[in-house]
A and B are shown apart, each in its own frame.
Chain A
Amino acid sequence: MSQGITVSKPFGQQAGAEETPLLQVRDLQVTFKTVGGEVNAVKGVSFDLYQGENLAIVGESGSGKSTSVTAILDLLAENGRVSGGSALFDGKDLTKLSRKEMEHIRGREIGYVPQDPMSNLNPVWNIGFQVQETIEANTSLRGKEAKARVVEVLKEAGLTDPQDRLRQYPSQFSGGMRQRVLIGIGMSARPKLLVADEPTSALDVTVQRRILDHIGTLTSEYGTSVLFITHDLGLAAERAEKLLVMYKGQVVEYGSSQEILADPKHPYTKRLVNAAPSLASRRIQSVVEGSAPQGELSELDRAALAHDQAAQTPAAPLISVKNVTKIYDIKQGGFKKTQFKAADDVSFDIAKGSTMAIVGESGSGKSTIAKLFLKLEDITSGTMTFDGRDVGSWPKRELLEFRRRVQPVFQDPYGTLDPMRSIGTSIAEPLLTHGIGDAASRRKTVAELLDQVSLPAATANRYPNELSGGQRQRIAIARALALKPEVLVLDEAVSALDVLVQAQVLQLLADLQSELDLTYLFITHDLGVVRMVADNVTVMRQGKVVEAASTDEVFENPKEQYTIDLLEAIPGGKFEFGK
C-alpha cells in the first residue's frame, strides 16, 4: 500500500529566504475539553499562504477544517484552546496575541465570510447600519465618510442599487444578496487575508457560481489572499491553486490543487477524488458504453448497468404525472390572500424500476411534486397516477395500501428519526402500523433490514443521537423499505451528507434498486448526483418544467439555456479528476 506514497520533507526548510509567507501555520494543535475528557480536534496542521495566493482546506464534517481556522482567528468555543504550534501572520504569532491585539487584526487585516448568510446578519438592524458598524470598528472613517464607504463597499460586493437598499433589513434580501453583504463586510477594510468558511454551501449552484466569481475578482484586484474552507473538492480545485486535505484532525495531503486532483497519493484523498459526484458518474457512463468485462465492474456499475438495461424495455409507466398544478393560498393578514403557484403544469412518466430525478434550485417546486405524490398535500389540478390508478382520488379506506407501496426518505438526517425512540422501534413502526407480524417476527425483520442497509443488527438498540448523518439516512431507508414498497420518493435524501458517505448511500440505493426492482423519484438540487443515479431527468424552475429527457441527453446535449447554466455552475465540473 505504502509504495505509492512519497514522503517529502513536510515544509520548506530549503525554501530559501526570498519571500516570507503571509500566514505561516506550524504544527497547530487544538484541544477541546469535554465531559469525556480532553479531545484533540486538530493534531498538527501546517501550511504556508503567500500574499495573493488562494488556499482551500478540504475535508468532511468533523475533520477539523473549520476548527483549525477558528483557532487561528481566536474564535474557538469556550471549551477549546490552542494546545500547541504557531500561526505567524505578518510576523506576529496569532496564537499568542492578547484579545485586544487580536481584535485589531480581525476585520482589519483578516476578513471573514461566515458559512450561513441566513443567520449571520442581525435581523433587527438594517443592512446599512451593520456594514457601517464594521467600517467604523476597523477604519478611522466616521459619520458621512463612513456612510459613503458603506455604499462603496456594497457596490463592490455586487449589489446593484446599494444607496436605496441601505435602509432595508436582512429579511428583504435573498440568500445570495445576504452573502454578498457579508463578503462586502469581510472585504470592507481591505484585509490582507480573507477567510471564507463554506461561503456558498447554503446557496443554489448558479448563485454560488456568481458569488465565487465575485470573491475571485475582488480578491485578485486587491491582491488579497483567500483561505477557503469547503467540503466540495470541485469547488476547492476551481477556486484555489493550493489544497490542504484534512482527515480526522490531520493533514493527509497538501500541495498544488491540480497535482493533487490529477494524482492523489494518500488513500483518503484517492477515496475523496473517487467519490466526487461529477467524476464518479462519468466513470459509470464510460463503463456502460465501453461494455467492460463484467469481472472488473464495481457493484455500483453493475447496478447501474442492470437498471439501464431494464429501463430500455418499453412498458406502461408505473407513475404518470399529467399537467399537475399546485396553488397555495398565502395569508396576508386579515382575510386577504394571494395565490402562489408552486407547481405549474408539470408532466412526466416514470417506468417501473427506473429512476427519475427532478432537479431544480430552491423555489423550483421540486419538493412540492414529491409532497403531492406522497399525498401529503392535495393536488390543485391535473392528475397523478400510480400503477394505473389516480393518486388524488385514492379512496381513504385504501390509503394504507398506497402508503405501503410508496415510501419517502427525507432530506434532514437529523430530523427524520424520532430522537426519543430507539432505532429498532423506528424501523418497526411501519410494520406495527400495518399490523404485520408479531413482536418476534418484527424483531427479525428489523435485523434483516439493518443488514440490507449494511448496519450491524445491534444498532436496533441505539438512539439516533449516537449515529452519524449517513447512518441515520440509512436507517431512514431501512424504515422506508420495511413494507417492501415499489416506489421510494427520495427528497434531497443525500444532500446533507459528506461526499464519501453520500457515495456510499447512493451505492446502497443502486444496489437496492437492482435487487428489489424499486422505482425512485429522486428530488435533488445537485446535478452531479443526478448523473450518478438517474435514468431520466426533469429540470424544473419556478414551478415549471424547463427540460425533460434522459440523463445522457441532458448532460451531453442540453437544449435549454437554464440547463446549460446549471451544468456550467457545477463547481469543478470542467476539471479532469484523476482516478
Chain B
Amino acid sequence: MPSSRHIERYVAPLEETPVAAVDAVDVSSKASSIWGDAWKDMRGRWLTWVCLVLIALIVVVSIVPQLFTHGDPSGAACQLPQSLNPPTAGHIFGFDKLGCDVYTRIIYGARSSVTVGLLATILTTIIGGIIGAIAGYYGGWLDAVVSRLGDIFFAIPSVLGAIVVSQVLPWKQNAFSLAIILAVFGWPQVARIMRGAVLTSKNADYVTASIALGVSRGKILLKHVVPNSLAPVIVITTVSLGTFIVAEATLSFLGVGLPSSAVSWGADISAAQQVIRVAPNLLFYPAAALAITVLSFLLLGDIVRDALDPKARARR
C-alpha cells in the first residue's frame, strides 16, 4: 500500500535557496585565537570587571600602602590608651587591643597576603608545571617515580606540612620562606593537572604530524604540547592564589606563619579572637579583607575556566 501512494515532487525555487560555493573561506571577519576568544568572552561579563578592579586595588594597596593611609600599622602610632576605642574621625574602623589603627593595619596587611600568595603560586606553577609536563610527556619510569613522589607530598596537607617545617626552621620566617614552604607542599596539584593535560595533547594528531615532519621531541613538547596544556593550569593557578592567601592567614593565625612583628590579616584575626566578646568588629575587618581578596581570585578563576572551556567555546 505505501508504494501505491503518489509521492509529490517539490523543488525549492532557486531564488529562495541560493547555492554557495563549496566550502568557501570567510576571511572578512576578524581573526581569532583561543586567548583572544577567551578574553572576548570574559570582557562581556560584568563580574570579570568587578574581580579585576578588586584585584588591581589589592595589588596597588600592597605595593604602595602609604597612598591609602598616613598612619603607621605598628610601633609609635599604637598607643595603649586607645585600646579597643570605637571608630572616630580619621580612624574609621577604630582601634585594636594594642591601640593600633585597624584600618591602617588592614591596608598594610594586604602586602604580606599578596606577596605570599603570588610567590607561592608562581613557584608551584613553575615547579609543578615543569615536573608534570616532563612526567606526562616522557612517561615510563620517570612518570612512575615523579607521580608517586607527588602522591607522597599530596598526602600531607600543605598547612600541616608548613606547620611542621616552620617549627624546625633555624631562621626567622619571612614571606619568601613561607612561600617556598607552601610551594613545596603545593606543587603536586599543579603537576597532576599538567600531566593529565599533557597526556591528552601528546596523543593529538598534530603531534604525530610534527613527529612525521622531523621536529625533535623537545621542540614538540615546548611548541605544541605545553601551549595546549596551559589552559587548565591557568585555571588552577588563579584558584590556588586564593587558597595560598588563606594558607598564609591560617599559618599566621596559628602563630607559625609570619613573625608577630609583620602585619598580616591572619595575625590580626588571631589577635581579634582574644577579644571577640568585647569587640567583635575587630574580627570582622581582617576577615572581610581576606574574604574579598580570596573571593576575587576564586571568581576570576571560575570565569577564566568558563572562557577557556572548549565545550563552551563550541557552543558559541
Contacts and interface: CB of A to CB of B under 8 A. Distances in A.
Contacts of A415: 204-206
Contacts of B12: 250-253, 266
Contact of A241 (B2, B205, B208, B219): B2
Interface in A470-507: 470-471, 476, 479, 483, 500-501, 504
A214 B5 CA distance: 24
B10 A504 contact: no
A254 B10 contact: yes
Contact of B2 (A34, A52, A259, A404): A52
Contacts of A268: 17, 19
A254 B2 CA distance: 17
Interface string B20-49: 101101010101111001000100100000
Interface in A440-461: 455-456, 458-459, 461
A198 B211 CA distance: 35
Contacts of A500: 22-23
Contact of B205 (A251, A255, A410): A410
A242 B7 contact: yes
Given A376-B208, A408-B209, A433-B215, A11 B10 contact: yes
Nearest to A10: B10
B9 A256 contact: yes
Nearest to A466: B32
Contacts of B315: 34, 77, 79
B67 interface: no
B214 to A, nearest CB: 4
A323 interface: no
Contacts of B33: 420, 422, 463
A563 interface: no
B14 A267 contact: yes
Contacts of B219: 433
B155 interface: no
A465 B313 contact: yes
B89 interface: no
B169 interface: no
Contacts of B22: 271, 500-501, 504
A403 interface: yes
B9 A254 contact: yes
B70 interface: no
B261 interface: no
A202 interface: no
A407 B212 contact: yes
A456 B1 contact: no
B205 A456 contact: no
A461 B31 contact: yes
Contacts of B16: 250
A251 B9 CA distance: 12
A433 B10 CA distance: 56
A450 to B, nearest CB: 10
Nearest to A266: B11
B76 to A, nearest CB: 56
B213 interface: yes
Given A52-B1, A422-B33, A376 B212 contact: yes
Interface string A231-263: 000000000011000011011111110011000
B5 A476 contact: no
B316 interface: yes
B205 A462 contact: no
B214 A476 contact: no
A376 B11 contact: no
Contacts of B228: 418-420
Q: Quick one: which of B11, B27, B212 has the most chain A CB within 10 A? A: B11
**Which of A2, A259, A374, A418 has its CB near the most chain B CB atoms (within 10 A)?**
A418
Contacts of A7: 11, 13
A246 to B, nearest CB: 10
A12 B212 CA distance: 59
A422 B32 CA distance: 9
Interface residues of B, number: 48
Given A52-B2, A462-B31, A5 B13 contact: yes
Given A241-B3, A422-B33, A470-B23, A410 B209 contact: yes
Interface string A48-75: 0010110000000000000000000000
B2 A376 contact: no
Interface string A271-295: 1000000000000000000000000
Contact of B211 (A256, A271, A376, A461): A376
Given A50-B2, A462-B31, A1 B25 contact: no
A403 B214 contact: yes
B274 interface: no
Interface in B92-133: none
Contact of B8 (A8, A403, A404): A8
A260 B209 CA distance: 42
A5 B215 CA distance: 55
Nearest to A433: B215
A267 B19 contact: yes
A15 B8 CA distance: 9
B210 interface: yes
A34 B15 CA distance: 27
Contacts of A408: 208-209, 212
B213 A403 contact: yes
A447 B228 CA distance: 26
Contacts of A421: 223-224, 227
Nearest to B228: A420
A429 interface: yes
Interface string A406-440: 11101110011111111000100110011000000
A399 B17 contact: no
Nearest to B214: A403
A430 B206 CA distance: 12
A429 B212 contact: no
A340 to B, nearest CB: 19
A339 interface: no
A265 interface: yes
A203 interface: no
A8 B10 CA distance: 6
A400 B214 contact: yes
Contacts of A2: 13-15
Nearest to A499: B22
A408 B208 CA distance: 9
Given A53-B5, A399-B214, A433-B215, A463 B32 contact: yes
A433 B213 contact: yes
A108 to B, nearest CB: 23
Given A252-B17, A422-B33, A459-B27, A476 B11 contact: no
A252 B205 contact: no
A119 interface: no
Contacts of B11: 5-8, 252-254, 265-266
Given A5-B13, A376-B212, A430-B213, A11 B23 contact: no
Most A C-beta atoms less than 10 A away, residue of B8, B15, B313: B8
Nearest to A275: B22
Given A248-B20, A250-B12, 5 more contacts: A7-B11, A260-B9, A404-B214, A419-B34, A459-B25
22 contacts: A2-B14, A6-B9, A247-B17, A254-B10, A255-B7, A265-B11, A266-B14, A267-B14, A268-B19, A271-B19, A271-B22, A403-B213, A404-B214, A408-B208, A408-B209, A410-B205, A410-B208, A418-B227, A420-B224, A422-B33, A479-B213, A504-B22
Closest 10 CB pairs of A and B: A255-B9, A403-B214, A415-B205, A254-B10, A256-B7, A458-B27, A418-B206, A420-B227, A416-B205, A265-B11
